Chain A
């Protein structure tokens, strides 16, 4: 028999938050939610409260100065989680203005005690803690001090068997406030504004006894309330493999372009990530479309994350048709305040929902533009994490990358991402007899034999048609190939 205490973890009802907290909120914990004005503290607290409160395990929400209670009720009920039927049944609001305004913390604690004793709530919220601190700067001499107040409150809440939340503003790590020591959990919310984009981030600084997810996690507030997008975590192979829906196999997936599978050594190994790099108009998206179409033909659902052209554009009707038919999923955004984690979360949800095995990201260039400026510095690292997470799910990923043709060097991606992927196909333009022609080569297929040839290809009504390898020219990658025999003749 296990003699250790078992701590129940409460599901917060906030999508993504439980994963960051390490499985939910510890029951009877004393927590702080801190952040600047407008960062979403009250919304987060309300969402947790409406998710957890029941008539048998009610919640008490103390309001203290700051936001007028009527305004709070007015605006919070715009969120879908707000259920008026729960008010005065599962959820009870209590205003502490008069007690706090007196500056006597004895009175504040007494009122809280009385209300808690009368209702026996399972959840207690005090909004806002900062208001208590400010008001008690005018504290009456000889009454309860702030530190004692917080310590007593923390002790009482635990003994009253209530999970407690203090909501406050402006957390300063260098300021050794007693409440930060007393608290079992500390969740900080921030807003970062750069250029014309605003990004919300959440950070769990402390959660006793919980394997929390470190670092900053982006979140969004919509009509549904707060949704957190946990940072993608790279798992070790054993762990990832154990949880993968589609474990890596040695099977090969067909690209849907005649001749390309042969160039790849028999198709792309299942679960691989492929980078298709090439200049504008070279046919990257058409290749990606063929990849998804082939999957649909074989009963393998796919997803496209589109950042540039919309699928309704006429050249890409096949994608549009497949999306409308529910054969492939679409994540289409031109928002400029995304985080990669947000996209990854949507992608993971859709992969599970559709049981997708093929994913296209078109393109990395558009993706970088859609990401909020504050994340662009870390774009490469975030891509690395995204590829690793998708790989752990066992899906085969095709990413396109816009690459300006340079004939002085051989590059595959402007982000230095070539090493992140398992396979690379490069497309280029060459000039032959005063006309532009397209060529394609398989540069890399990890742990697999593949073609080393550079093949001409054309784009017709049926899609990409790969031609014969170009054997009689050299200097193709320089953009201006010359016939081999001409070259030899001139040397002779």
Chain B
């Protein structure tokens, strides 16, 4: 069964933002999911994809907000995602990045691929919305652009040369 993102409920609150902009960002995340996932491939593929993306996010954000900053964002996103996917509930919310990733990978591999895909998507969408609630859609879009290549660019204000 194909992944239906419209039925996934995002849990994070925060500042109101353009629905169109938000949907575009989530669509970009969905498009980045491997095509095999939608054909009910092995859930280990979902796990690998998820861990790979987590590493990329960490690589881009750690220099700016620090490793601990990334860990708390991952941790919060995981906690919010576990409201819908209880099996993602971490035993200790203060887990470091390596332990968080190992936990997520293990849990995803243990699920059916479709459910794992939904959980993976929900996690990244939740993470994105959490970041948007903290620093706004424009800056979030700018920071996550290298990870989700199709994320629409932020409004161009820069004019200096």
Count the B residues whose beta carbon is within 8 Å of the partner chain — how many? 24
Ranked nearest first, the 5 interchain pairs of A and B with the lowest CB-CB distance are: A95-B66, A84-B138, A84-B139, A69-B65, A97-B66
Residues on A lying within 8 angstroms of B by beta carbon are 53-56, 63, 68-70, 73-74, 77, 83-90, 93-95, 97-98
Instruction: Select which of B62, B134, B156 is within 8 A of A95 by beta carbon.
Output: B62
- What is the CA–CA distance of A90 and B142 in the complex, to the nearest angstrom? 12
Chain A residues lying within 8 Å of B73, measured Cβ to Cβ, are 70
- Binary flags per residue of B48-70, CB closer than 8 Å to A gives 1, else 0: 00000000000000111111110
26 contacts between A and B (CB under 8 A): A53-B160, A55-B161, A68-B69, A69-B69, A70-B69, A73-B134, A74-B135, A77-B136, A77-B138, A77-B139, A83-B157, A83-B158, A84-B141, A84-B142, A84-B154, A86-B157, A87-B142, A88-B142, A90-B158, A90-B160, A93-B65, A95-B62, A95-B64, A97-B66, A97-B67, A98-B67
Shortest C-beta distance, A47 to chain B (Å), equals 15
Which residues from 13 to 66 on chain B have a C-beta closer than 8 Å to any C-beta of chain A?
62-66
- What is the CA–CA distance of A89 and B135 in the complex, to the nearest angstrom? 18
Chain B residues lying within 8 Å of A90, measured Cβ to Cβ, are 158, 160
Asked if A94 and B143 make an inter-chain contact with CB atoms under 8 angstroms apart, the answer reads no
Chain B residues lying within 8 Å of A63, measured Cβ to Cβ, are 66
Shortest C-beta distance, A411 to chain B (Å), equals 57
Instruction: Select which of B63, B68, B157 is within 8 A of A85 by beta carbon.
Output: B157
Chain A residues lying within 8 Å of B62, measured Cβ to Cβ, are 95
Chain A residue nearest to B161 (CB atoms) is A54
Chain B residues lying within 8 Å of A84, measured Cβ to Cβ, are 136, 138-139, 141-142, 154, 157
Residues on B lying within 8 angstroms of A by beta carbon are 62-69, 73, 134-136, 138-139, 141-143, 154-158, 160-161
In the complex where A68-B69, A94-B64, A95-B64 touch, is A85 in contact with B156 (Cβ < 8 A)?
yes
Instruction: Select which of B68, B136, B158 is within 8 A of A89 by beta carbon.
Output: B158
In the complex where A85-B156, A87-B142 touch, is A70 in contact with B135 (Cβ < 8 A)?
yes
- What is the CA–CA distance of A87 and B62 in the complex, to the nearest angstrom? 15
Chain B residues lying within 8 Å of A73, measured Cβ to Cβ, are 134-135, 139
- What is the CA–CA distance of A88 and B145 in the complex, to the nearest angstrom? 11
- What is the CA–CA distance of A469 and B48 in the complex, to the nearest angstrom? 100
- What is the CA–CA distance of A220 and B63 in the complex, to the nearest angstrom? 32
Instruction: Select which of B63, B141, B161 is within 8 A of A94 by beta carbon.
Output: B63
Chain A residues lying within 8 Å of B65, measured Cβ to Cβ, are 68-70, 93, 95
Chain B residues lying within 8 Å of A97, measured Cβ to Cβ, are 66-68
Instruction: Select which of A55, A56, A69 is within 8 A of B64 by beta carbon.
Output: A69
Shortest C-beta distance, B13 to chain A (Å), equals 15
Chain B residues lying within 8 Å of A89, measured Cβ to Cβ, are 158
Asked if A87 and B143 make an inter-chain contact with CB atoms under 8 angstroms apart, the answer reads yes
In the complex where A69-B64, A70-B135, A94-B64 touch, is A85 in contact with B142 (Cβ < 8 A)?
yes
Chain B residues lying within 8 Å of A83, measured Cβ to Cβ, are 157-158
Shortest C-beta distance, A206 to chain B (Å), equals 29
Asked if B69 and A87 make an inter-chain contact with CB atoms under 8 angstroms apart, the answer reads no
- What is the CA–CA distance of A56 and B158 in the complex, to the nearest angstrom? 13
Asked if B157 and A77 make an inter-chain contact with CB atoms under 8 angstroms apart, the answer reads no
- What is the CA–CA distance of A84 and B135 in the complex, to the nearest angstrom? 10
